Structure 1
Amino acid sequence: MGAKTSGAADLAGALANADLLFDRRSLEQAIVRMAEQIRGDYADGELRPVYLTVMHGGLPFAAQLAMELGERGLDLEFDYLHATRYRGATSGGELTWKHRPATPLSGRRVLLADDILDEGHTLHAIREWCLEQGAADVRIAALAVKAHDRCVPGLCADYVGIEVPDRYVFGYGMDYHEQGRNLPAIYALKD
């Protein structure tokens, strides 16, 4: 896939060679739809969910989703985790934990918020870890799900904003060689 690069020129070149898939407005509308579904599923008010943002990519999406949930009256207990298989590369390796949540998960409902569900190896390991910690329920909210059949068996997002093609996507939390996470849209490199 390519070595790690740096510099604004590389991101500018990627943008020039990319298709705009979803603009900011359409992503915000998808997040509103997700918030309505999540709020409905947590309507019983039973135990405030632990809201775990998967860093770094999940941050822009998780922040906006949290505000939409708050607007709908769902209070969340915030924490975060940082587990990665990429470390700036474009393909995954061994899972590395950089930060585990400090909030006890035993008996709690957990809502994981991440930018994308691709093959799902990282999210699968995170979900299993939460269950090992005694979480009563673990659900996944993913802004984007990649359209292919290579996902970890049995793993799917409970809440999905949009579906993206099986291409290299970046923006709105997803990076292009550690760049462009704060782009307010999602792009896909041209084949």
Structure 2
Amino acid sequence: MRIEIDEKNFELMLELDQIEKRIRLLGIQLNVDFENRTPVFVGVLNGSFIFLADLMKEINIASEVTFVKVSSYKGDKSSGKIKEELGLQMSLKDRDVILVEDIVDSGKTLRYLLDMMYKEKPASINVCTLLMKPKSLKTKFDEICYVGFEIPDDFVVGFGLDYNGLGRNLNDIYRAVSTTEIK
């Protein structure tokens, strides 16, 4: 199945059923790993809100949720400059933090977020991301402990991810295709 968003073509990459199954497994893993602890889930807006909402439905341990918002993308390319739009709204001191990302690409935004959170002196930080592009990653992160799917270096939309603000509402995840591939 192909779709068009803002004159850019996309094809189906991951169906909702696959995504939901993987989120259930991540939830089970987090419940086991954080049993008898009260972690705070920190969602990175705007992209992670759908993933985090579905993930929290699978969490049955005591936990809290808060959000941060940073941006670096313009269209389908990173501007290379990270802008903090909403900072931390609670103290993370001595807390177990689970940073929830929609996608880890180069790691530049993740590095920025981790540096910001380590200043708060948390007990631990673990990263849970729906998507990760291992070939794009510029730095190794020991904090990345929970990964939904490893994907190629394609631009993707849907399930919270957008292109120029559009496509976040799509249930499935789609990858960009070049116009030369379209028949």
Q: TM-score, normalised by structure 2?
A: 0.88
Q: Which protein has the bigger strand share?
A: 2
Q: Is the 8 A contact 2:26 2:146 kept in 1?
A: yes
Shift of 1:61: 0.2
- Gaps of at least 5 residues in structure 2 are 179-183
* Aligned counterpart, 2:181: none
For the aligned residue pairs, the C-alpha RMSD in angstroms reads 1.9
Mapping of 1:58-97 within 5 angstroms?
Answer: 58-69=48-59, 73-86=60-73, 90-97=77-84
Measure how far apart 1:89 and its partner are. Answer: 5.8
Larger helix fraction of residues = 1
> Does the aligned pair in 2 maintain the 1:120–1:155 contact within 8 Å?
no
Determine which of 126, 149, 173 is the counterpart of 1:162.
149
Number of residues of Structure 1 aligned to a counterpart in Structure 2: 176
Paired residue for 1:6? none
TM-score (norm. length: structure 1):
0.85
SS at match of 2:79: coil
Structure 2 distance, partners of 1:86, 1:156, is: 23
CA distance in 1, matches of 2:4, 2:28: 38
Over 3 Å counting, the alpha-carbon distance change for 1:109 and 1:42 in structure 2 is same
* CA 1:155–1:35: 2 relative to 1, 3 Å: same
SS in 1 for 2:78: coil
**Residue 189 to residue 156, structure 1, CA distance change in 2 (3 Å):** farther
1:27 maps to 19
Distance in 1 (alpha carbons) for counterparts of 2:136 and 2:166: 27
Q: Map 1:1-191; keep pairs closer than 5 Å.
A: 11=5, 13-14=7-8, 17-43=9-35, 45-46=36-37, 48-69=38-59, 73-86=60-73, 90-154=77-141, 157-191=144-178
Aligned-partner residue type, residue 48 of structure 2:
G
Structure 1 residues without counterparts, runs of 5 or longer = 1-8
Deviation at 1:155, TM superposition (A): 5.4
Determine what percentage of the aligned residue pairs are the same residue.
Answer: 28
